[in-house]
Amino acid sequence: MIIKIKHEASEVQIEQLKNWIKSQGLSIYFSEGEHNSILGLIGDTSQVDESLINALEIVENVVRIQEPYKKVNRKFHPEDTVITLENGTKIGGGNFVIMAGPCSVETEEQVIETAKHVKASGANVLRGGAFKPRSSPYSFQGLGAKGIEILLKAKEVTGLPIVTEIMEPKQIIYFEHVDIIQVGARNMQNFELLKVLGAVDKPILLKRGLSATYEELLMSAEYIMAGGNSEVMLCERGIRTFEKATRNTFDVTAIPYLKSVTHLPIIADPSHAAGMHKMVKPLSLAATAAGVDGLLIEVHNDPERALCDGPQSLKPEKFDDTAKAIFKIREILSEV
Ligand code: PEP
Ligand code: MN
């Protein structure tokens, strides 16, 4: 249930109403807007008398929320969430970012060289996997903690904030200086991990599960927000369908749909969606045109020799060309 408060309501009146709601055993999600403030009621509201609240002088209206997700719901928080990274980079609410870098961290030289290239082309965040979820136990499993050290070195050299994936709660000790913690598609419903991230004071990039519905993705974000962390971004990275020609099927519809139902920033990952480097540019442009708040793109200085996801990784020159095209689409978007 949400209660829209009239603009002229005093702080004392709002406080009285909040206290009454709490006395009913409910918790409150308060969102202060430019025109109206909103009180989102969380818990079992079935016994709450709507007409009683509606009759209050300070209440504009009361709406019952059907969706199971509350804190991520745009009805609870009409304005876009804007996430600000430590270096001041903003994501969401019209602030667009490109996160780029290798699938996995292999060597210091590889990461720093790639980082310098992507920065020069306009990327705002460096990506790189240290803990890698691989389908085969015989594939390269990532450098782990050493990989994070390399990313931190690249951050120091280039000034780029870093995003890297966590696979299990006990790894959190390595993430102190990481700017954005990524939850991979395979862990979208690792609820114990989501609960741990709910207690962390860092932005989370939550990727959509391979066969997860929008509601399941939103409910996973709700886990993080319910734990107290409101800095969550959702990432469409392609889903599994009956089509076998591409690695996944990029669900462009997810972008406007999610943007309409949640206030959280929406990111798209065209690299894992396509699985082929040739498709990364057109899908990046499609996602940008559909209104994403950012892109996550795999770039490798030597894709032929990459230890992970080489076929879908862009060479630095191709990333540069793709970034230029993305910025052109952003310019056009501001005019239409
Ligand atoms: C990745 O970003 O490298 C990754 C493993 O992505 P996903 O979880 O979407 O497969
Ligand atoms: Mn990858």
- Render each residue's pLDDT in the chain as its tens digit; 336 residues: 999 999 999 999 999 999 999 999 999 999 887 778 999 999 888 888 889 999 999 999 999 998 999 999 999 999 999 999 999 999 999 999 999 999 999 999 999 999 999 999 999 999 999 999 999 999 999 999 999 999 999 999 999 999 999 999 999 999 999 999 999 999 999 999 999 999 999 999 999 999 999 999 999 999 999 999 999 999 999 999 999 999 999 999 999 999 999 999 999 999 999 999 999 999 999 999 999 999 999 999 999 999 999 999 999 999 999 999 999 999 999 899
Radius of gyration of the chain (CA): 21
Q: Whose CA is nearest to atom 9 of ligand 1?
A: 185
Instruction: Write the single-letter amino acid at 78.
Output: P
Per-residue CA distances from 258 to 8, 132, 234, 244, 267 (Å): 32, 27, 9, 26, 10
* Structure tokens belonging to residue 91: 């994501």
Using DSSP's 3-state secondary structure scheme, residue 327 falls into helix
Residue 46: per-residue pLDDT = 84
Note whether 101 and 298 are within 8 A (CB).
yes
Q: Whose CA is nearest to atom 6 of ligand 1?
A: 184
Mind listing the domains of the chain with CATH numbers?
2-63 (3.30.70.1140), 83-335 (3.20.20.70)
- Our answer on whether the CB atom of 247 is closer than 6 Å to any ligand 1 atom is no
Using DSSP's 3-state secondary structure scheme, residue 187 falls into helix
Ligand having the closest approach to the CA of 299: 2
Q: Is the dihedral of CA 73, 238, 232, 26 positive or negative?
A: positive
User: Around Cβ 28, how many Cβ atoms within 10 Å?
Assistant: 15
Q: How far apart are CA 20 and CA 263, in angstroms?
A: 27
* DSSP output for 191-258: HHHHHHHHT-SS-EEEEPPTT--HHHHHHHHHHHHHTT---EEEEE--B--S--SSSSB--TTHHHHH
Q: Who contacts 156 (Cβ-Cβ below 8 Å, separation ≥6)?
A: none
* Structure tokens belonging to residue 203: 């932005």
Q: Whose CA is nearest to atom 8 of ligand 1?
A: 184
Residue 58: per-residue pLDDT = 94
Per-residue CA distances from 323 to 93, 122, 135, 162, 251 (Å): 20, 7, 30, 18, 21
Using DSSP's 3-state secondary structure scheme, residue 39 falls into strand
Helices (H), the chain: 11-23, 50-54, 108-120, 145-158, 191-198, 214-226, 254-261, 270-274, 280-289, 316-333
Q: Who contacts 288 (Cβ-Cβ below 8 Å, separation ≥6)?
A: 96, 295, 326, 329, 330, 333
- Our answer on whether the CB atom of 238 is closer than 6 Å to any ligand 1 atom is no
Note whether 45 and 64 are within 8 A (CB).
yes
Note whether 210 and 240 are within 8 A (CB).
yes
- Our answer on whether the CB atom of 209 is closer than 6 Å to any ligand 1 atom is no
The closest-lying atom of ligand 1 relative to the alpha carbon of residue 237 is 9
Q: How far apart are CA 133 and CA 216, in angstroms?
A: 21
Quick one: which of 280, 282, 319 has its CA closest to 299? 319
- Our answer on whether the CB atom of 103 is closer than 6 Å to any ligand 1 atom is yes
- Our answer on whether the CB atom of 129 is closer than 6 Å to any ligand 1 atom is yes
Quick one: which of 1, 2, 6 has its CA closest to 56? 6
Instruction: Write the single-letter amino acid at 44.
Output: D
Torsion of Cα atoms, 123 then 129 then 133 then 135, to 10°: 70
pTM: 0.94
